[in-house]
Amino acid sequence: MRQSIMILGAGPGGLALARILHVNGIVATIYEGEPSADARTQGGLLDIHEHTGEVALRDAGLHDAFLRLVRPGEDAKRVVDRNGTVLFDRPGTPVGHRPEIDRGDLRRMLIASLPADTVRWDHKAVAIAACRDGRHAVSFANGATVTTDLLVGADGAWSKVRSLLSGTAPAYTGTSFVETSIREGAVRLKASANAIGGGTLMAVAPGMGILAHRHADGRIHTYTALNRPEPWFRAIDFGDSGVAMARIAAEFTGWAPHLTALITTSDTNPVLRPIHALPVGHRWDRVPGLTLLGDAAHLMSPFAGEGANLALHDGADLAKAIIASPENMNDALKAYERSLFPRSAGIADASGRNLARFFGAEAPHSVAAMFAP
């Protein structure tokens, strides 16, 4: 008898898992706390990597659909110092070995590839209880309780499923982003847009940086980075966007005006995004009926560019393990985790080292060296 499969979280990894199972005749249901697919914006662009994310999309039968959504040329990269002096400049390519896609487009593509009832929206998990038969009962904020044979935690950085497998919690890395966006930025901030070029600008210095992406539609998406303790950010009222961004911009006194304009100009309320990470090599002992994927399993800083790619790869690997052993789920989970742990540990280590390079004492030259051939 096929066992029931519940996936908590409708991010790329959980959706890829459900899609690959679906095309192989195995039913899984995703429970997501958001009320709908479009309840919130999904962030900026993702570069999808040839040996991780793209492999998963091929396994899902969605690679051609993915290529139709790729943003040509937006893989361009430019590194500058605080004065705007260009230290590294790589033009974009029509597709490239790491094609760029809008995170929202990727998610909508994955959702559309599933039967309509696969994702159960407005189901925010509030409690998980182990049952005597090895199953798990998940209670939701809307009053529903669902019991499942296999519970997959694809529920992100603060995963509820992870607490059943591991006592380890993510730790603050010392770096936070403040996310903003400018409509028609190419027109309103012409000097800034020209400095960005056709893709992503990385203006960095020790302990700080301005990371901005110029979209083909003229929009500019910016992450302002600072190495500060969490209480420093908590003292800022981000509800008052003008005051908050003036406070952030004050930390960049002396930087080129066309760079600081990316901090002080925004059409959206600033979003504070502290960067947390699980320890490199995070793992857990095998527990029947439970496993993790994506950030729930191996949360890391974004400086290896592998977060979404690893989540997609995890989803594909778990699906293939289940397909290979559908009648013995524990064997499937053992096989999946045996490859997951070393793969994610190596990338988490690289991510941590890259974070140090971005904002360490040698920045911005250390960043330019990362991208140089």
Q: What is the DSSP string of 22-85?
A: HHTT---EEE-SSSSTTSS---SEEEPPTTTHHHHHHHTT-HHHHHHH--TTTT-EEEE-TT--
Does residue 45 belong to any structural domain of this protein?
A: yes
Residue 370 falls inside a structural domain: no
pLDDT of 102: 87
Residues 155 and 198 in one domain: no
Residue 254 in any domain: the answer is yes
Same domain, yes or no: 199 and 156? no
Q: How confident is the model at residue 47 (pLDDT cuts 50, 70, 90)?
A: confident
Residue 70: C-alpha distances to residues 29, 40, 53, 311 (Å):
28, 21, 13, 19
Residue 89, domain member (yes or no): no
321 shares its domain with 339: yes
3-state secondary structure of 208: strand
pLDDT in tens, 8-22: 999 999 999 999 999
Q: Report percent pLDDT > 70 for the chain.
A: 98
User: Residue 336: which domain range?
Assistant: 5-72+97-170+278-359
Provide the CATH number for the domain around residue 283.
Answer: 3.50.50.60
Asked if the structure places residue 127 within a domain, the reply is yes
pLDDT band at 171 (very low <50, low <70, confident <90, very high): very high
pLDDT grade, residue 45 (50/70/90)?
confident
Q: What is the pLDDT of residue 168?
A: 96
- Phi/psi for 46 (5° steps) reads -120, 135
For 304, the token pair is 């290896």
Confidence of residue 175 (pLDDT cuts 50, 70, 90): very high
The answer to whether residue 1 scores a pLDDT higher than 60 is no
Is 90 exceeded by the pLDDT of residue 276? Answer: yes
Q: What pLDDT sits at residue 310?
A: 95
The number of distinct structural domains making up the chain is: 2
Are residues 271 and 327 both part of a single domain?
no
Q: What is the structure's pLDDT at 134? A: 86
**pTM of the full structure:** 0.94
Please give the Cα distance from 227 to 206 (Å, whole number): 9
Q: Indicate the SS3 state at residue 232.
A: helix
Residue 123 has pLDDT above 90, yes or no: yes
Calculate the CA 290 to chain-centre distance.
Answer: 22
CA distance 318 to 332: 8
DSSP state for residue 354 in the 8-state scheme: H
Using pLDDT thresholds of 50, 70 and 90, give the confidence band for residue 118.
very high
Q: What is the pLDDT of residue 42?
A: 58
The size of the chain, in residues, is 373
| Domain co-membership, 19 together with 149 | yes
- Among 36-50, 54-68, 200-214, 272-286, the range scoring the smallest mean pLDDT is 36-50
pLDDT tens digits, 195-249: 999 889 999 999 999 999 988 788 899 999 999 999 999 999 999 999 999 999 9
| Domain-terminating residue out of 243, 276, 309 | 276
pLDDT of 41: 65
Claim to verify: residue 166 and residue 38 sit in the same structural domain: yes
Q: What share of the chain is helix, strand, coil (3-state, %, to 5)?
A: 35, 25, 40
Mean pLDDT taken over the chain: 93
Measured CA to CA, the distance from residue 71 to residue 215 in angstroms comes to 9
Task: Let me know whether 23 and 131 are in one domain.
Answer: yes
Q: Which two tokens stand for residue 264?
A: 């002080």
pLDDT value for 96 = 63
Residues 79 and 84: their CA atoms lie apart, in Å, by 9
Greater pLDDT, 2 or 312? 312
pLDDT band at 72 (very low <50, low <70, confident <90, very high): confident
**Position 43 confidence tier, pLDDT thresholds 50, 70, 90:** low
| Residue among 42, 35, 12, 17 nearest 27 (CA) | 17
Has residue 97 got a pLDDT over 70?
Answer: no
pLDDT tens column, 289-333: 999 999 999 999 988 778 899 999 999 999 999 999 988 999 999
Whether the predicted pLDDT of 367 surpasses 70: yes
Query: Is residue 88 included in any domain, yes or no?
Result: no
